[in-house]
Amino acid sequence: MAGTFDISLDSLAGRSVPAEDVSSECLSDSLQPIRKDRKAPKTAPCATGMRDGATFFLETFGCQMNDHDSEKVAGVLLSRGYRQVESPDAASLVLYNTCSIREKAAQKVFSRLGEYRTKQAAGQVIGVLGCVAQQEGEEIFARAPWVSLVCGSASYRKLPELLAQVEAGHQRVTGLNNDTDETFETPVTRRDNPWRAYLTIIEGCDKACAYCVVPFTRGPERSRASDSVLKEVRELADLGYSEVQLLGQTVNSYADPSSRRMRFSELLLAVADVPGMRRVRFTTSHPRDFGADIVAALESQPKLCNHVHLPVQSGSTKVLRGMVRTYTRDEYLEKIAMLRKAKRPIAITTDIIVGFPGETEADFAETLSLLEEVQYDALFSFKYSPRPNTPSLSMPDAISEEEKSRRLAVLQEKQRGIQSKRNASMINTMFEVLVSGKSRRENQWSGHTSCHRVINFTSQEQNLLGTYVQVLVTGAGPNSLAGEQVT
């Protein structure tokens, strides 16, 4: 995809899958890319003193939840005296945070572990974290005996204890329970982005979509107490963050475990009220729990970004039933109608799976007609990938890889046309942009609008990074806008 087209959307899609598996919409994003090889950024050494030169290298695959888990894991390690390094060769501890949402992402793990082994320096400890760790468990030790630590995301809370065991020289340390009712909170999180902070408010998933491994790999839903969330938002504001993105596999299923019993929409408003916070985002919403109160909150509080990611997965009620998505096409469209009626325009994006078992040509045509009807601002599309333990694994009428690829291409082409038109209609409008990138080209900058479009723009000013500017749109491609700063 051309580098200029660049819409950046924060689905919780596991994005480390190979390019051919996913829609081009998510390939070239500046903030949330498919980073096949996300090496650690440079970080300051820890304040609490060095653990005798101990260093760690942490590589992350997958969704924003994984990105943010890695930020918290890095925080735990820094507070134990480790220093973060940018190459596995230089590290005493090599950690690999994995994704298993689609098969190809999961397959990568063992080839990567093979690479680590060949490079493995004497005494180096290798650990596997995340969804593949949870899914494969001790099998990882059998296939890669040079691994010493296997820890699923539901057990990160125990990470300090597990690390202590690793440091004491234990060979096969595991954290694999996912029956915890606690969330992973750390006193120190080492965040990668200086302006936008991720903040997980709900972990795990209690839905049971027939194709999805997440309920197995991330365990049951656990929400974080609203007071604790708000305290962290205040801390983030004090540190200079002006944008916060609330995360959860089903973020709007948030259920405050504290006596305040805040609803998700109330929490959104309370987060937006924290002095210093200018933008609040949230992802991913499940259509079933998406109520009128969330739309009312978006209408009443402009700090809540006007973008909702509402995965539909299919436009066919028959397929939705097979997927156990718990809504029909018409019920989903009612949620869309609610959003479209809002007092300010709200960008809507979605996830779609093509080639679910039994998906006929007519079912697929219904997905295409849904795209036409909704006019999404962007979409993430995936070929169905059979996953271990999931109910759809044993469903009849599998669709061939060739046909899945064909449908994916047709879907993406259709969406490209829709996006081209939608973005072109924005020429001559003004957007507030949080500036997050500076091009090597003179006077060229980039950032995001509240509706989460990427906009590349010109400005004669210096030092714009992290500031908010007004930009007039002068051009548009299917995946990004172009413009100039207006002073």
In the complex, which residues of this chain contact ligand 5AD (CB under 6 A)? 11-13, 101-102, 211-212, 311, 313, 351, 353, 382, 384-385, 387
Segment interacting with ligand SF4 (CB under 6 A) among 86-94, 159-167, 205-213, 232-240: 205-213
User: Would you state the structure tokens that stand for residue 202, as one six-digit string?
Assistant: 């709900």
Residue 215 is a binding residue for ligand SF4 (CB under 6 A):
yes
Please, what is the minimum distance in Å from the beta carbon of residue 352 to ligand 5AD?
A: 7
Residue 72 is a binding residue for ligand SF4 (CB under 6 A):
no
Segment interacting with ligand SF4 (CB under 6 A) among 47-55, 165-173, 206-214, 401-409: 206-214
All residues at 6 or more sequence positions from 325 whose CB lies less than 8 Å from its CB, including other chains? 209, 287, 288, 313, 314
- Residues 26 and 13 sit within 8 Å (Cβ to Cβ): yes
Q: Which of 409, 275, 354, 397 is nearest to 102 (CA)?
A: 354
Please, what is the minimum distance in Å from the beta carbon of residue 209 to ligand SF4?
A: 3
Burial of 255 (0-12, 13-18, 19+ CB in 10 A): middle
Residue 416 is a binding residue for ligand SF4 (CB under 6 A):
no
Residue 222 is a binding residue for ligand SF4 (CB under 6 A):
no
Residue 249 is a binding residue for ligand SF4 (CB under 6 A):
yes
Work out which of 40, 173, 205, 267 binds ligand SF4, going by CB under 6 A.
205
Please, what is the minimum distance in Å from the beta carbon of residue 59 to ligand 5AD?
A: 20
Residue 214 is a binding residue for ligand SF4 (CB under 6 A):
yes
Please, what is the minimum distance in Å from the beta carbon of residue 211 to ligand 5AD?
A: 4
Residue 286 is a binding residue for ligand SF4 (CB under 6 A):
yes
Please, what is the minimum distance in Å from the beta carbon of residue 204 to ligand SF4?
A: 9
Query: Closer to ligand SF4 at the Cβ: 279 or 286?
Result: 286
Residue 451 is a binding residue for ligand SF4 (CB under 6 A):
no
Per rule CB under 6 A, count of chain residues that contact ligand SF4: 9
For residue 286, the partner it binds in ligand SF4, ligand 5AD, none, with Cβ less than 5 to 8 A by kind, is: ligand SF4
Please, what is the minimum distance in Å from the beta carbon of residue 437 to ligand SF4?
A: 30
Work out which of 250, 349, 415, 456 binds ligand SF4, going by CB under 6 A.
250
Please, what is the minimum distance in Å from the beta carbon of residue 131 to ligand 5AD?
A: 11
Query: Closer to ligand SF4 at the Cβ: 67 or 243?
Result: 67
For residue 102, the partner it binds in ligand SF4, ligand 5AD, none, with Cβ less than 5 to 8 A by kind, is: ligand 5AD
Residue 15 is a binding residue for ligand SF4 (CB under 6 A):
no
Please, what is the minimum distance in Å from the beta carbon of residue 99 to ligand SF4?
A: 12
For residue 385, the partner it binds in ligand SF4, ligand 5AD, none, with Cβ less than 5 to 8 A by kind, is: ligand 5AD
Residue 97 is a binding residue for ligand SF4 (CB under 6 A):
no
- Report the interhelical angle of 292-300 vs 264-272 (nearest 10°): 10
Please, what is the minimum distance in Å from the beta carbon of residue 374 to ligand 5AD?
A: 15
- Name the residues that contact ligand SF4, by CB under 6 A: 205, 207, 209, 212, 214-215, 249-250, 286
